Structure 1
């Protein structure tokens, strides 16, 4: 009897230890009654703060809906600069990051991503009429002009890959600053995601945009939600909440106000693993 009792105690202890090992920092916070800290930058229409930092934008909407499907509705919004999102996640200041973050190999080396929630391309903002005739990174390199971009955006990597000198890339905190640089003539062109470029051009006199389809296929990317590597189980549960929601009429009806279109829904063959290895 003593042997059986001791064995039961050891088994129970091992089970508790294994459970504690599987639980990541976010699950520990939730178990302690703490809210999920949602980190995002002011990057409309992907994600941006409303009144009292209310999480707006289609990536935030999708993330909040998926968390709700998991049973999590206690959310604390945390707004930071785009370049501070990954450092904030790694330092434990936020639990989940959104904001339209592309799945890139350079980012996969530091954080873990959910499965894709959308596919998007990039574009440029230019003075009305595009006087320089600039449509691609190659055009920018050949013209020798200055390109403004958001620090930490994929556009910086893409420009360097094509051969644009770092001295010709003006890195700024956000798309508002990129727009200001182009309007003031400090940069001839501004690089960003296509949805941001189209949105800014529609709202700003004297500013137009290029066609995302003028860029090569390798510049098109998949967007996902970022998690701390220690929260692998929570990320798996988040992925498990996606089927039946991503691309559904319910989702599309909520996000169309932020220019997420049915054509942006990722295909069945899209995967985080492929994007990490190829982007």
Structure 2
């Protein structure tokens, strides 16, 4: 389930037009009302939550990454728009207005007030928590390697890459960059790519021997291409600690009222059948449902 939007003048209420995706009225970024830094209060008075419920629209940033948030037939679809669209509708009939960025620029776009929320399935990490505020987990996921069909180098995880002479593609701004480094893969064997398709292209062309990303992303990416395959999923380990991959909505620090409203609706959704109904069309299963007791505060501690 997701929500269909048409653009209306700023400040006007807009109603849901039916099922579908979010129509991408613009290809890249649009401006949004400004807030007082660190407070979540709009410069014209009131909070970000007040503004978006009054206008009936929230500016969201996405990065065109399957199956989290991506364009398809001119619409914004994916796990994150489905879940966030449902939650913001519950908050007060608020609809998603999409803004496209490279993944590594999403938090910068958020903090420069070009968007109100990052809707991209972004993992909660201690480093990111220093820059922005996360909702509680919306999903959990394991990691995997995309490799050429037949997996000629027998790559299975970061350590197998580190112990070989393989080149690993990783996406700019993604957690896999630092995880790979922490597992001993030197920078001269890391190929930083801007997006999913570039990582897949690097493997197919031989510029990289593998591409590291969440298993569910790679399965969606490789679904219709017999020249590549996805190795068995694994849980990354850094300094002896398993790294729980948990994706969430991202807010500006200080936008506590908006984040708390989101978390309140999310808590009910996670424990309902509706969560699976929303995400199952994008390849998610019960295995990706987060533990209701897992919090952003816990994950921000590392």
Q: TM-score range by the shorter chain?
A: 0.7 to 0.9
Q: Which residue among 212, 215, 223 is the counterpart of 2:247?
A: 223
- The residue number in structure 2 matching 1:42 is 64
- The residue number in structure 2 matching 1:5 is none
- The residue number in structure 2 matching 1:158 is 179
* CA separation of 1:207 and 1:71: change in aligned 2, threshold 3 A: same
* CA separation of 1:163 and 1:22: change in aligned 2, threshold 3 A: closer
Q: Does 1:199 align with 2:220?
A: yes
Structure 2: distance between partners of 1:195 and 1:22: 33
3-state SS, counterpart of residue 70 of structure 1: helix
TM-score (normalizing by structure 2): 0.80
Structure 2 gap segments, 5+ residues each = 1-38
- The residue number in structure 2 matching 1:9 is none
Shift of 1:215: 4.7
Structure 2: distance between partners of 1:167 and 1:211: 25
Shift of 1:162: 0.9
Structure 1 gap segments, 5+ residues each = 1-20
Structure 2: distance between partners of 1:132 and 1:169: 16
Shift of 1:247: 4.3
Structure 1: distance between partners of 2:146 and 2:130: 30
- The residue number in structure 1 matching 2:28 is none
3-state SS, counterpart of residue 203 of structure 1: coil
Q: Which has the higher helix share?
A: 1
For CA contacts below 8 A with separation 6 or more, give which structure has more relative contact order: 1
- Within a 5 Å distance, the mapping from 1:78-227 to structure 2 comes to 78-213=99-234, 215-216=236-237, 218-227=242-251
Q: Is the 8 A contact 2:40 2:253 kept in 1?
A: no
Q: Is the 8 A contact 1:67 1:73 kept in 2?
A: yes
Structure 2: distance between partners of 1:116 and 1:236: 13
Q: Is the 8 A contact 2:137 2:290 kept in 1?
A: yes
- The residue number in structure 2 matching 1:255 is 279
Structure 2: distance between partners of 1:271 and 1:111: 15
Shift of 1:22: 7.0
Work out which of the two has the higher radius of gyration on C-alpha atoms and give 1 or 2. 1
Q: What is the aligned length?
A: 257
Q: Kindly report structure 1 stretches of 4+ aligned residues shifted beyond 4 Å.
A: 214-217
Shift of 1:222: 1.1
Greater shift, 168-177 or 246-255, is seen at 246-255
TM-score (normalizing by structure 1): 0.87
3-state SS, counterpart of residue 267 of structure 1: coil
Greater shift, 199-208 or 98-107, is seen at 199-208
Structure 1: distance between partners of 2:236 and 2:250: 26
Q: Is the 8 A contact 1:37 1:78 kept in 2?
A: yes
Let me know the Cα RMSD of the aligned residues: 1.8
Shift of 1:171: 0.5
Q: Does 1:270 align with 2:291?
A: no
